[in-house]
Amino acid sequence: MLIASGAIYFSSASYRKEIFYNRLESKALNTAKLLIEIEEIDAALLLKIEKDNPVNLPYERIIILDYKNDTLYNTNTSGELLFSQKSLDRVRRNYKVFYKQGDYEVLGLLYTTKFDHFIVVVAAKDIVGVLKLKNLGIVLLVATLMSLLLFFIAGWIYSGRALKPISDVVKRVEEISITRLNLRVSEGNGTDEIARLAKTFNQMLERLEISFAVQKDFIANASHELRTPLTSINGQLDVLLMKDRTSAEYKAVLSSVLEDIKSLIDLANRLLLIARTSSETSGNLNSKVRVDEVIWQIQEEMKKYNKDFHINISIDDSLNDSEQMVVFGDEYLLKTAFSNLIDNACKYSPDHTVNLLLEHIDNFIKITFEDRGIGIPEMEMDKITEPFYRGSNAKAYPGSGIGLQLVNQTIKGHSGTIHFFSELGSGTKITVTLPLCY
Ligand code: ADP
């Protein structure tokens, strides 16, 4: 607006000036022609003619000088306009000179005939033109200010309206805290960018809410699992200290306490491993692990600690190269996961036997753990990998319910898959596939 108004004003000003100087010039030429070229007209007659001329310019002053600067004709009787020798010289040099003197606009012109030259000076005030220009200036200024104000108000209203959904979202987000994760932001009309942002934010809140709930459950369950052996230790020691005991009694209680402490250590180790597997990235799983060697190691160790567990290992004909048993991964985590599966299979089977089968399928190694144990109720198949979940038929067996979660996380972390097949009372088959190195 400012640029447009400025352009309009300055072009009008220069147009006014051009028009007025043209009028001054034609006046100068006409007057000079009358006085100099028409013999019958002398200065006195011209003065008379000009006096009543209706087309005279406002406040018109005309002076005509000859080459000696003698005045031939002069309507500047009041002496308002002053001409210095310098300005006359400029006219002689440049033929035509325009300048302003106060409110007067002055044109100095060199008028030449065959034998002589004259200086014609015409001055007048462009009262109408200047007034028009002044009015135009005021109108433009007011229009510019008004439109600025209008733009400001309209901008304020419309931007407020456009940004309202965002400020609503911001207000709502400020209300959301860990204790109020159930709140959701408004999804507005559901179609624009802001609605998409709100939707994505709500989805994030949903995931956060679930993960907070899982974490809360996890902490509650973990505390419960830790408290059980601690309460048992506490009770046993309290009873033990009530009176003097025989050394055999002390031994019996201490070995029972030791069992509880072992189970506590085992639980703490598993919890640590869960934390590790859930935060580990694939970047840490770069070392090569021989799956068969890990299984043999587990078999050796189990033989020492659980004498009644039987681990039968078979290797399928499809595996005929040691390279087909190598996977990228964390040996310790994989060993813990396989131990858990073997331990469960033996623990939940009356014959304490697990049959392992190693196979090569495409670019994967498949390990099957099969037992003829108590099986898993069909309804509970989806839940057994949840933290601290124990099967309804497994309560009589020792355990904490976090083994399969650890297995699940480890196998997924190694880009593998795990599947459970079970028939209640008949047995369980668990298959694990892991991608091979090559
Ligand atoms: P835990 O064995 O300590 O209870 P897990 O996480 O290892 O915990 O297993 C979760 C549940 O899955 C067990 O409580 C049990 O009900 C069921 N389960 C796992 N493996 C077997 C299996 N081989 N046979 C029968 N049930 C099993």
What whole-number distance in Å separates Cα of residue 65 and Cα of residue 181? 98
Query: Which of 390, 395, 400, 418 maximizes ligand 1 atoms within 8 Å of its Cβ, making it the mutation to test the pocket?
Result: 390
- Give me the pLDDT at residue 400, please: 86
Of the candidates 27, 24, 42, 32, the residue with the CA atom closest to the CA atom of residue 111? 32
The residue contributing the CA closest to ligand 1 atom 20 is 344
The residue contributing the CA closest to ligand 1 atom 27 is 376
Looking up tokens 């595996």 gives: 319
Q: Which 3-state string (H, E, C) describes 373-435?
A: CCCCCHHHCCCCCCCCCCCCCCCCCCCCCCHHHHHHHHHHHCCCEEEEEEECCCEEEEEEEEE
Tell me the DSSP string of 95-120: SEEEEEETTEEEEEEEEE-SS-EEEE
- Closest ligand 1 atom number to CA of residue 406: 6
Contact 298, 335 (CB under 8 A): yes
- Give me the pLDDT at residue 283, please: 47
Q: Which residue positions in the chain have pLDDT lower than 50?
A: 282-283
* Amino acid (1-letter code) at residue 182: N
Ligand 1 mean position, distance from CA 398 (Å): 10
Instruction: Give the up-direction half-sphere exposure of residue 307: CA atoms within 13 A in the CB hemisphere.
Output: 0
What whole-number distance in Å separates Cα of residue 107 and Cα of residue 91? 9
What whole-number distance in Å separates Cα of residue 381 and Cα of residue 396? 18
For 366, the 3-state DSSP assignment is strand
- Give me the pLDDT at residue 280, please: 53
Ligand 1 mean position, distance from CA 122 (Å): 116
pLDDT tens-digit map of 79-134: 777 777 788 888 888 899 998 888 999 999 999 988 889 999 999 999 999 999 99
- Closest ligand 1 atom number to CA of residue 374: 25
- Closest ligand 1 atom number to CA of residue 345: 23
Its pTM stands at 0.59
The residue contributing the CA closest to ligand 1 atom 15 is 391
- Give me the pLDDT at residue 284, please: 66
Ligand 1 mean position, distance from CA 182 (Å): 33
What whole-number distance in Å separates Cα of residue 201 and Cα of residue 206? 9
What whole-number distance in Å separates Cα of residue 342 and Cα of residue 419? 15
What whole-number distance in Å separates Cα of residue 254 and Cα of residue 260? 10
The residue contributing the CA closest to ligand 1 atom 19 is 344
Residues 6+ apart with CB under 8 A from 387: 214, 217, 218, 221, 274, 401, 402, 405
The residue contributing the CA closest to ligand 1 atom 4 is 401
Instruction: Give the up-direction half-sphere exposure of residue 348: CA atoms within 13 A in the CB hemisphere.
Output: 29
Give the other-Cβ count within 10 Å of 265's Cβ. Answer: 11
- Give me the pLDDT at residue 281, please: 52
What whole-number distance in Å separates Cα of residue 253 and Cα of residue 232? 11
Query: Which of 310, 339, 342, 348 maximizes ligand 1 atoms within 8 Å of its Cβ, making it the mutation to test the pocket?
Result: 348
The residue contributing the CA closest to ligand 1 atom 16 is 391
What whole-number distance in Å separates Cα of residue 224 and Cα of residue 210? 21
Ligand 1 mean position, distance from CA 396 (Å): 12
Instruction: Tell me how far CA of residue 80 lies from CA of 49, 59, 125, in angstroms.
Output: 22, 11, 12
- Closest ligand 1 atom number to CA of residue 405: 6
Residues within a 6 A CB radius of ligand 1: 340, 344-345, 348, 371, 373-376, 384, 389-391, 394, 399-404, 428
Contact 334, 414 (CB under 8 A): yes
Looking up tokens 């088959």 gives: 429
Of the candidates 30, 22, 72, the residue with the CA atom closest to the CA atom of residue 49? 30
